[in-house]
Chain A
Amino acid sequence: MNNKALIVTGLVVFLIIVLFPFWYMRGKAAPLPERVLTPKAKAAQVCVRSTDYMRAEHMQLLDLWRDSVVREGKRIYINPEGKEFNMSLSNTCLDCHSNKAEFCDRCHNYASVRPYCWSCHIENPKEKT
Chain B
Amino acid sequence: MDSSRRRILQLLGISALALTTRPVLNAFAAEQQAAEAEAVIRAGDKALKAKQWAMVIDTRELQSAEDLKPMIEVCHKIHNVPQLQNKRHEIKWIWDVPYHNAFPDKAAQFLAEEVERRPFLVLCNHCENPPCVRACPTKATFKRESDGVVMMDFHRCIGCRFCMAACPFGSRSFNYRDPRPFIAEANLNDEFPTRMKGVVEKCNFCAERLAVGQLPACVEASNGALTFGDLYDPESKVRELIRTHYTIRRKQALGTEPSVYYIV
Chain A positions near chain B (C-beta within 8 angstroms): 49, 64, 66, 68, 70-81, 86-88, 90-91, 116, 119-122, 125, 128-129
Contacts and interface: CB of A to CB of B under 8 A. Distances in A.
B39 interface: yes
B103 interface: no
A122 to B, nearest CB: 5
Nearest to A70: B153
Contacts of A116: 196
Contacts of A73: 43, 47, 144, 146-147, 207, 210-211
B44 interface: yes
A75 B155 contact: no
B162 interface: no
Interface stretch (B7-15, B20-28, B64-72, B187-195): B187-195
B191 A74 contact: no
Contact of A75 (B43, B151, B190, B193): B43
B142 interface: yes
A119 B155 CA distance: 11
A90 B190 contact: yes
A120 B195 contact: yes
Contacts of A71: 142, 144, 151, 153
Q: Is the interface of B mostly helix, strand, loop or mixed?
A: loop
B196 A119 contact: yes
B14 to A, nearest CB: 38
B150 to A, nearest CB: 12
A18 B42 CA distance: 54
Nearest to B145: A72
B43 A74 contact: yes
| Listed residue (B144, B147, B210) with the most chain A CB atoms within 10 angstroms of its CB | B144
B32 to A, nearest CB: 16
B34 interface: no
Interface residues of B, number: 29
A74 B151 CA distance: 14
Contacts of B1: none
A76 B193 contact: no
Nearest to A64: B41
Contact of B39 (A49, A72, A88): A49
Contacts of B190: 90, 122, 125, 128-129
Contact of B191 (A64, A75, A90, A119): A90
Nearest to B49: A73
Given A70-B153, A122-B188, A122-B193, A78 B142 contact: no
Contacts of A128: 188, 190
Nearest to A119: B196
B39 A79 contact: yes
Nearest to A63: B155
Contacts of A79: 39
B2 interface: no
A128 B188 CA distance: 10
Contact of A70 (B37, B151, B195): B151
Contacts of A121: 193
Interface in B22-76: 36-44, 47
A45 B3 CA distance: 66
B155 A122 contact: no
18 contacts: A49-B39, A70-B151, A71-B142, A71-B151, A71-B153, A72-B146, A73-B43, A73-B210, A75-B44, A75-B212, A76-B43, A90-B190, A90-B191, A90-B193, A120-B154, A120-B196, A122-B194, A125-B191
Nearest to B80: A122
Nearest to A89: B193
Contact of B41 (A77, A80, A125, A129): A77
Nearest to B146: A73
